[in-house]
Amino acid sequence: MMRERFASQADGQPVSDASARGTGLARSASLGGVVGFLVWIGIGIGPAWAQSAAEPKAESPKSEPDGAPRLIKGHTDWVWGLALSPDGKKLVTGAGAKDHTARVWDFATGVEQQRLNVRGAVYSVVLLPGGRRAAVGCEDGFIYLFDTENGKLLGRLQGHKGEVFSLSLSRDGQVLASGSQDGTARLWDPAQGGELLRLKVSGREVRAVSFSRDGHWLLTGDFDSLGRLWDTTTGQEVVRYEGHTRAVACVAFTPNGRQVVTGSHDKSVRLWDTESGRELGNFDGVDDQVYDVAVSPDGRRVAAGLGNKKILLWDVAHGKQLASYSVKEGGVLKLLFTPDGRKLVAGCGDGSVWIGNLPAKFPGETASSTSEKPRGKSRTKKGKP
């Protein structure tokens, strides 16, 4: 097996690299020889744009009566990034270039608590364990780390040569994954600040990354119309999910890890067998390009955000469409379920965050999980382990 190895360099060049298929990659033995690095910024140091203490705080209206969807307003551009703390109390959002901020909100009240200023668009955000720190993936290729309590910039992860479109955190919080315009996905140590693993995924953009629950596998979606599964220990690509005809913009595992969901600009949302790469079904009703998908915590439901202001919700086991919601303006760019699965949260093209209540059970919905394949247009594709 061919391996490409490079000497560690102070200017952030790779110690090792993995090709898109069949090339193993060893993890760095120590942080002293890693690629990217964390630039720590002390109190009173750093550019003026990194300071947020003096920024005004905007308040948003509380929930509307009778369980109607509510909006959190404040951003002035498309909301690409969403992250919710495990206890459901803290929401972090990130918006486009006209806004160039990430913001921290009280999820229950919609009150803005902190404003985190960056240069250019924010495409992805994640909360690190404890909710005190947030990682923010940006247009300038950096991943910024902020203190969510006081808004201070703590440092940045440096290495990508293009926009950082997607971030995913391993469940134990020890590894951060990123996907970039530069065609790579990278794994980082968010605590110590170093690049652990680099995956050369595509000749073009890597639009999405997502960890499995055990952190051993990483999903990527790219501009080459492929979903891919990677072993995070060896750096090998082990399965391809082939069938989309345009960019794969979003990827997600079901909670049991047995299925993969992908959404594409080809106006489709598909379910796959994780291990074999076989397509299990193509969810019906998608009539515009897909920006994001989310799977409910219990694995029963899949939601998709579309460019035509729609949020679609399906039963995973049978592929039945359960609901269709419409936001007021702009596309639905980012989606997540609350930890209890009772609400859907959407980042929208008009700068708002849409929050909708979900019933415990829709009419005709089954209580089964993801053991059955969905109905609809089904096509088998053998994976390439």
pLDDT by 10s per residue, the chain, length 385: 222 211 222 223 333 334 333 333 333 322 222 334 343 333 222 222 122 333 334 333 333 333 689 999 999 999 999 999 999 999 999 999 999 999 999 999 999 999 999 989 999 999 999 999 999 999 999 999 999 999 999 999 999 999 999 999 999 999 999 999 999 999 999 999 999 999 999 888 999 999 999 999 999 999 999 999 999 999 999 999 999 999 999 999 999 999 999 999 999 999 999 999 999 999 999 999 999 999 999 999 999 999 999 999 999 999 999 999 999 888 999 999 999 999 999 999 999 999 999 999 998 787 654 434 433 333 333 333 3
Tokens for 103, please give them. 């913001």
pLDDT at site 366: 73
Q: Which residues contact 65 (CB under 8 A, 6 or more apart)?
A: none
Closest CA to 39 of 115, 129, 143, 125: 143
CA distance 219 to 22: 16
CA distance 301 to 341: 9
Any idea how long the chain is? 385
CA distance 39 to 368: 48
Distance from chain centroid for Cα 367: 27
- Three-state SS letters, 99-151: CCEEEEEECCCCEEEEEEECCCCEEEEEECCCCCEEEEEECCCCEEEEECCCC
DSSP output for 142-189: -EEEEETTT--EEEEEE--SS-EEEEEE-TTSS-EEEEETTSEEEEEE
H/E stretch holding 11 reads none
CA distance 195 to 381: 34
Beta bridge partners of 263: 250, 269
pLDDT at site 86: 94
Q: What is the CATH number of domain 44-357?
A: 2.130.10.10
Domain ranges of the chain: 44-357
Rounded to 5 degrees, φ, ψ at 32 are: -65, -20
pLDDT at site 6: 18
pLDDT at site 11: 27
Neighbours of 9 (CB within 10 A): 11
Contact predicate 373/271, CB 8 Å:
yes
pLDDT at site 368: 58
281 HSE (CA, 13 A, CB side): 19
Core vs surface per residue 280-290: b (16+ CB within 10 A) or e: bbbbbebebbb
How many angstroms separate the Cα of 88 from the Cα of each of 151, 266, 301, 339, 366? 20, 33, 19, 6, 26
